[in-house]
Amino acid sequence: EVQLLESGGDLVQPGGSLRLSCAASGFTFGNYDMTWVRQAPGKGLEWVSIAKTSGGGTYYADSVKGRFTISRDNSKNTVYLQMNYLRAEDTAVYYCTLGDSLNWGQGTLVTVSS
């Protein structure tokens, strides 16, 4: 059974940094692209970033490009999202998903507020 477990969400001040982690199990992690999707309170879904399988590169939404960095450690079956220069509008539940969002974690809440 596929399991995705996000962690790292917290309350952070504007301009601050945070690193999210997503520990995966139940599938061959290195064979799959991994994606972050977020959802602001009461709002719709927003695609954030993808870490493709080895050598496949990374891509970002325009809203986070230059501030967020996605990475993966295939030896640990974990994908990360390093978030810098956080803004109030980054407040959201951040979901880790498998591939093009076939499977979803339960999400981790990031709140950016002073």
To another protein, the closest distance from the beta carbon of 70 in angstroms equals 12
How many CB atoms are located within 10 Å of the residue 43 CB? 10
Residue type, 6: E
Q: Which is nearer to another protein, 16 or 40 (CB)?
A: 40
**Which residues are near another protein by CB under 8 A?**
35, 37, 44-47, 50, 59-62, 95, 100-102, 104-107
To another protein, the closest distance from the beta carbon of 80 in angstroms equals 19
Of 83, 80, 77, 70, nearest to 12 by C-alpha is 83
Q: Which is nearer to another protein, 27 or 47 (CB)?
A: 47
- Residue given tokens 């139940």 in the structure block: 26
Q: Which is nearer to another protein, 23 or 46 (CB)?
A: 46
Q: Which is nearer to another protein, 12 or 110 (CB)?
A: 110
Distance CA 54, CA 58 (A): 10
Distance CA 105, CA 6 (A): 7
To another protein, the closest distance from the beta carbon of 59 in angstroms equals 4
To another protein, the closest distance from the beta carbon of 105 in angstroms equals 8
Q: What is the DSSP letter of 26?
A: S
Of 70, 79, 100, 101, nearest to 25 by C-alpha is 79
